[in-house]
A and B are shown apart, each in its own frame.
Chain A
Amino acid sequence: MNGRLRWRKFVSNFMLAMTGVCAVVSVLVLFFILGYLLFNGGTSINWDFFTKLPKPVGETGGGMSNAIVGSGKILLLASLIGVPIGFLGGIYLAEFSGKGMASVVRYAADLLNGVPSIVIGIFAYSLVVLPFKHFSAYAGAFALGMMMIPITLRSTEEFLKSVPRMLREGAMALGASKWKTIATVIVPAAYRGIMTAILLALARVAGETAPLLFTAFGNRFESHGWSQPTATLPVMIYTYAVSPYDDWHRQAWAAGLVLLGLVLIINIMARTILSRGIAVPRS
Chain B
Amino acid sequence: MATTTTAMKSAGPVSGSRSFLARLRNGDEIVRLITLIFAATVVLITAALVWELWANSALPRQKFGFNFFVTSVWDPIMDQFGALPFIYGTMVTSAVALVIAVPLGIGAAIFLAELAPPRVSDILQFFIDLLAAVPSVIYGLLGVFIVVPLMRTVIYPALNKPFGYLPIFKGPSYGVGFMTAGIVLAIMVIPYIISVSREVLLSVPRDQREAALALGSTRWESTWKVVVPFAKTGIMGSIFLALARALGETMAVTMVIGNTPKIAASLFAPGYSIAAVIANEFTEATGDLYLQSLIALGLVLFLLTFVLNGLARLLIVVTTQKGSEVGG
Answer whether A and B are interacting partners.
yes
Which positions in A face B, CB cutoff 8 Å? 8-9, 11-13, 15-16, 18-23, 25-27, 29-30, 33, 36-37, 40, 84-86, 88-89, 91-93, 95-98, 101, 104-105, 108-112, 114-123, 125-127, 146, 149-150, 153, 177-180, 182, 200, 203-204, 206-210, 213-214, 217, 234, 237-238, 241-242, 249, 252-253, 256, 259-260, 263-264, 267-268, 271
Residues in B with CB closer than 8 Å to A182 are 31
* Contact status B32-A26, CB under 8 Å: no
Interface string of B26-55 (1 = CB under 8 A from A): 111011101110111111011111001100
Residue B165 at the chain A interface, CB threshold 8 Å? no
A260 to B130, CA, bound (A): 10
Interface centre among B111, B131, B146, B283 (most CB of A within 10 A): B111
Q: Which of B41, B220, B250 is close to A12, meaning CB atoms less than 8 Å apart? A: B220
Assembly CA distance A91 to B294 (angstroms) = 38
Give CA–CA (A241, B251) in the complex, Å. Answer: 11
Structural contact, B255 and A242, CB atoms closer than 8 A: yes
Q: Which residues of A contact B215 (CB under 8 A)?
A: none
> Quick check: is B275 within 8 A (CB to CB) of the other chain?
yes
Give the interface segment out of B3-11, B73-81, B156-164, B263-271.
B3-11
The docked-state distance in angstroms from the alpha carbon of A178 to that of B29 is: 9
Which of A92, A153, A260 is within 8 Å of B138, CB to CB?
Answer: A260
Residues from chain A with a CB closer than 8 A to the CB of B218 are 8-9, 11-12
Residues from chain B with a CB closer than 8 A to the CB of A21 are 107
- Contact for A26 among B34, B191, B301, CB less than 8 A: B191
**Listed A/B pairs (16) with beta-carbon separation below 8 Å:** A30-B131, A30-B134, A84-B38, A85-B42, A91-B35, A96-B35, A97-B36, A98-B7, A110-B313, A114-B306, A121-B278, A146-B49, A177-B28, A208-B135, A238-B140, A267-B130
Report B-chain residues with C-beta under 8 Å of the C-beta of A40. 145
Are A122 and B38 touching (Cβ within 8 A)?
no
A26 CA / B48 CA spacing, docked (Å)? 39
Query: B27 touching A125 by the CB < 8 A rule?
Result: no
In the bound complex, residues from chain A placing their C-beta under 8 Å from that of B302 are: 115-116, 119
B220 touches A16 (CB 8 A): yes
Q: A30-B131, A98-B4 are in contact. Are A179 and B137 (CB under 8 A)?
A: no
Q: Which of B63-71, B120-128, B229-237, B319-327 is the interface stretch? A: B120-128
Main secondary structure of the interface of A (DSSP, over half): helix
Q: What residues of B have a CB within 8 angstroms of the CB of A149 in the complex?
A: 42, 45
Say yes or no: A23 contacts B124, CB within 8 Å. Answer: yes
Residues of B within 8 A of A208 (CB): 135-136
User: Do A241 and B140 touch (CB < 8 A)?
Assistant: yes
CB-CB < 8 A to B144: which residues of A? 241-242
Evaluate contact between B49 and A112: CB separation under 8 angstroms: yes
Closest to A262 in B: B135
A117 to chain B, nearest CB (A): 7
Residues on B with C-beta less than 8 A from A105 are 39-40, 42-43
Known: A92-B39, A118-B275. A237 touches B141 (CB 8 A): yes
The closest CB in chain B to the CB of A153 belongs to B42
B289 within 8 A of A: no
Distance (whole angstroms) from the CB of B107 to the closest CB of chain A: 3
Given known pairs A23-B108, A26-B105, A213-B283, the reply for A123 and B141 (CB within 8 Å) is no
Contact with A along B210-225 (1 / 0, CB 8 A): 0000000011110110
Check A16–B108 contact: CB distance below 8 A.
Answer: no
Minimum distance in angstroms from B2 CB to a CB of chain A: 11
Does B39 contact A22, Cβ atoms closer than 8 Å?
no
* Interface pair A118/B301, CB less than 8 Å apart: yes
Partner among B133, B136, B250, B278 whose Cβ is within 8 Å of the Cβ of A203? B133
Q: Are A19 and B309 in contact (CB under 8 A)?
A: no
- The CA-CA distance from A242 to B135 in the complex, in Å, is 17
A97 to B43 CA separation, bound complex (whole angstroms)? 14
Q: Which residues of A sit under 8 angstroms from B146, Cβ to Cβ?
A: 36
Return chain A residues, CB-CB under 8 Å to B137.
207, 209, 234, 237-238, 241, 256, 259
Contact A92 B36 (CB under 8 A): yes
In the assembled complex, the Cα of A283 lies from the Cα of B3 at a distance in Å of: 27
Residues 52-105 of B contacting A (Cβ, < 8 Å): 52-53, 56, 103-105
Tell me the chain B residues, 288-328 only, with Cβ under 8 Å from chain A.
294-295, 298, 301-302, 305-306, 309, 313
| Contact indicator per residue, chain B 159-182, by CB within 8 Å of chain A (1) or not (0) | 000000000000000000000000
Nearest CB in chain A to that of B313: its residue:
A110
Is the CB–CB distance between B42 and A12 below 8 Å? no
